[in-house]
Amino acid sequence: MNPARRTAATAAVLSTTGALLSALTTTASAAPSCVSPVYTRTFYANTTFSGTPKKTDCDSGISENWGTGAPATGLPKDNFGVRWSVTRDFGSGGPFSLPVSTQDGVRVYLDGVRKVDIWKNVSTNQSKSVDVTIPSGKHTLRVDYVNWTGTANVALSYLPRLSADADKVKPLVPTGTSVAYDKETGKAKLTWAKNKEMDLGGYRVYRRLKGASFGSKPLATTTSTSYTDAGLPQAGETYYYEVRAYDRVGNESTGTADLGVTTVDLVAPAAPTIVLASGEVTSTGGTGGLKVGWDKVADAVSYRVLRAAGQGGTYTEIGRTDQLTFLDTTAAESVVYYYRVSAVDAAGNESARSESQRGKIWDNDPPALVTGLSVTPTEYGFHLNWDKNPATDLKYYEIHWGEVVGDPGDQICWGGTADYVSPDRTSYDYTTLPDGGEVCFFVDAVDDEGNSAIKWNGPAEAVTVTELDMTPSEATPEGSPVRLSAAAAGTGVALGWNAVADATGYQVYRWNPGSKAYEKLGATTDTAYEDSGAAKGTTHFYRVVALYADGTESAPGGDWVALAP
């Protein structure tokens, strides 16, 4: 509404739908140019709308209350007329209501046809609402108001009827549609002209892949006249768009003509999955490098292979291939590497790198079997000698001891590991109780990859040998309260035993093979004794007896220890 009493006005004028229109500046002396849907308003000093108007201006809406005063300078306070007129585009048209409230008279015309007629001098407000159907396109609305005497006020609007039962009219198809595709960003921007419907709800944008239908669910809904599709798949395919307008009741227009774009291929292939990263060196050659393999990736035309020294290290490209395997001929034997692979399509798009995969060229070239094994019985057990193994990556020798089992002609050496020997040695002293039994030995060679000569090249050549019998001719009786333990310690033998009840001391004896008798080494009240004079390279047998206050002694407790040279 533009109050008429002002001789000049500057305003931001609003339409009946609330949309902001351009600002207007008018003066009393100049006939304004009012932009639809703003009304052109004229004031007359009579009720017949005759003669030259006293004033013409623009009014955004009809809602006036002049009371008992004049509506504008130079007009009487009674017997005056005001006319509003506007020509606007109603889009698809449809059902409208024309609510009016007035004192005194008002007439409303649509395209010159009277739709509302309240035309008499009254002392109170009169109200009325008329439903009309407005065809699509542009139409002219004219409102004539007169005040004969007394209070002057008038209010009128034209409103779409927002009822699904009343409004069955679809909005018009949006016009001026266009689409622009940005190859750099992969985005498609659609634009179109604003629809003219007063009950417009907004627009729905639909997208389909070439050969497919649009479907019932829109890609986007907006009240703007543009939309940027930032989620367009960039796979070198053609997509079509259409725009449909919808009103506040839910009526939807027909779609616009299809707008097509063909995308650039910006979609990278999926990342490969490495399924192999290994190589081997054998006595006949091996793989010739470290072989890396992966699953086939759709759309990939080549693959990049990258390698790092550590899982979290810097990966450097070492080659490209159109195959599903790559042989890394620069990889060193027994060195651990980490590999990642990416896929590249025909457009040059590269996938993310695969998960890292550990790989190594395995040394599957075992040492040769140990040769020249000899086993010599000794007073402490056995002395073993063998030939030096020619393997340059030898890690250790494994000494095996066991017993011969099986029938004659089909016998094996059955036992377990006795010890491990460093690769720079070719001899070993095996300590045991030499009691005349038959035993067997064999020696395995193992390299730094864990390759066993016997497991790869076996069986080994075992040596059977009979122990010397160092057992004392005087047996140690059972039932002694002394539980003796003998062990090699430093330069001699450490003896230890339990405390015996009521014992006042202990006597320590050692077997002398020459005299064939246990000879006393010493006496002690402790439960330990060190034989620092025990010779190396033989087996020693010991006894300890407990002494009592009455001069008697217990049965002896015994043990033995074999001392290597």
In this prediction, residue 6 carries a pLDDT of: 36
* Helix, strand or coil, per DSSP, at residue 173: coil
**Is the CB of residue 101 less than 8 Å from the CB of residue 126?**
yes
177-189: per-residue pLDDT in tens?
A: 999 999 989 999 9
Architecture of domain 178-262: Sandwich (2.60)
In this prediction, residue 408 carries a pLDDT of: 86
What is the 8-class DSSP label of residue 410? S
363-384: per-residue pLDDT in tens?
A: 889 999 999 999 999 999 999 9
- Write the CATH number of the domain with boundaries 8-160: 2.60.120.260
Structural fold of domain 374-466: Immunoglobulin-like (2.60.40)
Query: Is 124 a residue whose pLDDT tops 90?
Result: yes
46 burial (CB, 10 Å; 0-12 / 13-18 / 19+) is middle
294-322: per-residue pLDDT in tens?
A: 999 999 999 999 999 999 999 999 999 99
Phi, psi of 556 (to 5 degrees): -75, 145
Beginning with the edge strand found earlier in the chain, give each strand of the sheet holding 528-531 in spatial order.
485-489, 492-496, 528-531
- Cβ partners under 8 Å of residue 202, min gap 6: 221, 222, 223, 245, 246
Which range (16-25, 267-276, 295-304) has the least confidence? 16-25
**Do 274-361 and 374-466 share a fold?**
yes
The pLDDT-based confidence of 15 (bands split at 50, 70, 90) is very low
In this prediction, residue 281 carries a pLDDT of: 86
Query: Is 491 a residue whose pLDDT tops 60?
Result: yes
Q: Which class is domain 485-563?
A: mainly beta
In this prediction, residue 156 carries a pLDDT of: 97
Nearest Cα to Cα of residue 451 among 362, 512, 354: 362
Distance between CA 226 and CA 240 in Å, rounded? 16
- Cβ partners under 8 Å of residue 151, min gap 6: 67, 68, 103
CA 37 from centre of chain: 55
Catalogue the E-assigned strands of 322-393: 325-328, 336-345, 357-363, 374-377, 381-385
The pLDDT-based confidence of 30 (bands split at 50, 70, 90) is low
Query: Is 19 a residue whose pLDDT tops 80?
Result: no
Q: Which class is domain 274-361?
A: mainly beta
The pLDDT-based confidence of 28 (bands split at 50, 70, 90) is very low
Distance between CA 469 and CA 437 in Å, rounded? 8
Q: What are the domain boundaries of the chain?
A: 8-160, 178-262, 274-361, 374-466, 485-563
425-460: per-residue pLDDT in tens?
A: 999 999 999 999 999 999 999 999 899 999 998 888
Bridge partner residues of 205 (DSSP): 220, 243
Strands 126-134, 80-89: pairing is unpaired
